[in-house]
């Protein structure tokens, strides 16, 4: 396939002709060129018809203008490159490399011809002559608007204020008619208005994006809060169920105690324990259970529980005092369980003010300690638990009952 471009071996740029290679060499001092079968891209913007010669240039155009649609017309404009350029052109390129030679006068590089009237209008708008000339030349002398658009798109180019040069025989044709001063003002106003509207549209778009982000974050926070509230609600429901179950068990224990007391009173009064004719049809199983209750002696654990319940009932107007008494008793039991050989932990002076305030003055406090094995000694001045009478099972049971009394909100209520 014949070559369709010249490729710079120093930077990889593709050039359409020898003249472009010459201009590239003047601007960059590169001199290593070779024929290439890779065509120079021709991406034309569908919005403003600006041609872009590379993907980088089209991306830059999109960034500056917001135009995103391009038509690839590379194959429509591609043609074999002619290497039969005047020797002067080649010699001009060689001169960049330091070799000798002189150029042909016909290939002299000159300032391109542009529309003088539009050039004056651009200068009147404050653009330097070199920048205005370059804008008119590369926008094809189309119009004042096209030249201004070119300046806006290329204002950051390093050579934007350099006067363009083209071969003397490639100057453009006759310039197009110029605009009147009034039309120039109107056109400039339109350009400023268009730029203002474009900026406002961009700000509105960014505000919409920020609002969308705020809405998204708000929804996520609301969802997280809803989940947390659901979990808290479930936890409260489970806690209430546990409390109701504990209350039910407490009622059941009280009911059983009432039945036991009733049976005991019947026995002491010499009354029959049960009326078989009346009880058997209704609840035979309960009847059999009741008949056995009066003869079962209460265990030490049950006595401890009843002692603690009596203590709470006797001082139910002061929950803090009751809880402090339970915690003090639990501390005594814990000390004995952990250090059974320490005598000082098993001996308590009954007249001690702290002991009296916390346990001794409360109904059932000393009775509970006596159920745990403590004995009064030395004329009732001390409570003492002999080492050989320490029963780990009793101490552990006492600790269990005290823990239940402290943590169960329904303990001793019913």
- In a 13 Å sphere around the CA of 186, the CA atoms on its Cβ side amount to 5
Residue-level pLDDT at 238: 92
**Cβ-based burial of 6 (10 A; exposed 0-12, middle 13-18, buried ≥19):** buried
| Domain spans of the chain, in order of start | 299-407
288 versus 299: the higher-pLDDT residue is 299
Mean pLDDT score, 23-40: 78
Residue 230, Cα to own-chain centre: how many angstroms?
21
Q: Are 394 and 300 in contact (CB under 8 A)?
A: yes
Residue 277 has pLDDT above 60, yes or no: no
pLDDT band at 84 (very low <50, low <70, confident <90, very high): low
Retrieve residue 22's tokens.
Answer: 């010459």
**Cβ-based burial of 334 (10 A; exposed 0-12, middle 13-18, buried ≥19):** middle
Q: Are 39 and 75 in contact (CB under 8 A)?
A: yes
pLDDT band at 411 (very low <50, low <70, confident <90, very high): confident
The percent of residues above 70 in pLDDT, for the chain, comes to 83
On average, the pLDDT of the chain sits at 79
Mean pLDDT score, 334-353: 89
Residue-level pLDDT at 319: 84
Residue 254 has pLDDT above 90, yes or no: yes
pTM for the predicted model, two decimal places: 0.31
- How many Å apart are CA 133 and CA 113, to the nearest integer? 9
Highest mean pLDDT among 25-34, 281-290, 355-364: 355-364
pLDDT band at 129 (very low <50, low <70, confident <90, very high): confident
Mean pLDDT score, 116-130: 85
Residue-level pLDDT at 96: 41
Residue 297 has pLDDT above 90, yes or no: no
Residue-level pLDDT at 207: 93
Residue 106 has pLDDT above 60, yes or no: no
User: What is the distance between the terminal CA atoms of the chain, rounded to a whole angstrom?
Assistant: 105
Residue 282 has pLDDT above 50, yes or no: no
Q: Are 187 and 145 in contact (CB under 8 A)?
A: yes
Q: Phi-psi category of 297—alpha, beta or left, where left has phi over 0 and alpha has psi -120 to 50?
A: beta
pLDDT band at 296 (very low <50, low <70, confident <90, very high): low
Backbone angles phi and psi of 246, in degrees to 5 = -65, -40
Residue-level pLDDT at 210: 92
Q: Is residue 377 helix, strand or coil?
A: strand
CATH 1.20.58.2190 fits domain 299-407: yes
**Cβ-based burial of 347 (10 A; exposed 0-12, middle 13-18, buried ≥19):** middle
């Amino acid at each position: 396939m014949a070559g369709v471009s010249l490729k710079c071996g120093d930077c990889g740029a593709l050039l359409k002709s020898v003249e472009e290679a010459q201009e590239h060499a003047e601007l960059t001092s590169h001199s290593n060129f070779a024929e290439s079968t890779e065509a120079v891209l021709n991406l034309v913007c569908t919005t403003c018809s600006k041609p872009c010669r590379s993907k980088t240039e089209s991306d830059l155009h999109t960034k500056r203008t917001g135009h995103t649609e391009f038509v690839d017309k590379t194959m429509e404009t591609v043609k074999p490159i002619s290497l039969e350029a005047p020797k002067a052109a080649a010699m001009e390129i060689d001169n960049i490399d330091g070799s000798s030679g002189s150029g042909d006068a016909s290939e002299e590089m000159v300032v391109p011809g542009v529309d003088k009237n539009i050039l004056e209008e651009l200068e009147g708008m404050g653009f330097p002559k070199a920048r205005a000339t370059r804008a008119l030349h590369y926008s094809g002398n189309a119009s004042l608007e096209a030249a201004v658009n070119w300046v806006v798109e290329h204002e950051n180019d390093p050579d934007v204020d350099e006067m363009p040069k083209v071969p003397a025989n490639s100057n453009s044709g006759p310039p197009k008619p110029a605009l009147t001063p009034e039309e120039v003002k109107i056109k400039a106003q339109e350009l400023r208005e268009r730029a203002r509207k474009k900026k406002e549209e961009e700000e509105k778009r960014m505000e919409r994006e920020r609002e969308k982000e705020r809405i998204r974050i708000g929804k996520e926070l609301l969802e997280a809060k809803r989940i947390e509230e659901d979990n808290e609600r479930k936890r409260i429901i489970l806690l209430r169920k546990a409390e109701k179950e504990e209350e039910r068990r407490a009622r059941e224990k009280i009911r059983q105690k009432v039945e036991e007391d009733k049976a005991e009173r019947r026995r002491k009064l010499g009354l029959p324990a049960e009326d078989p004719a009346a009880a058997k049809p209704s609840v035979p199983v309960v009847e059999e259970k009741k008949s056995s209750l009066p003869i079962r002696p209460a265990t030490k654990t049950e006595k401890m529980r009843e002692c603690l319940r009596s203590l709470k009932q006797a001082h139910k107007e002061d929950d803090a005092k009751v809880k402090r008494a339970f915690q003090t008793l639990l501390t005594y039991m814990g000390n004995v369980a952990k250090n059974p050989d320490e005598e000082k932990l098993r001996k308590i002076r009954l007249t001690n003010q702290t002991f009296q305030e916390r346990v001794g003055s409360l109904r059932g406090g000393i009775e509970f300690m006596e159920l745990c094995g403590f004995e009064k000694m030395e004329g009732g001045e001390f409570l003492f638990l002999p080492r050989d009478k320490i029963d780990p099972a009793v101490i552990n049971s006492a600790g269990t009952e005290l823990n239940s009394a402290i943590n169960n909100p329904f303990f001793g209520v019913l």
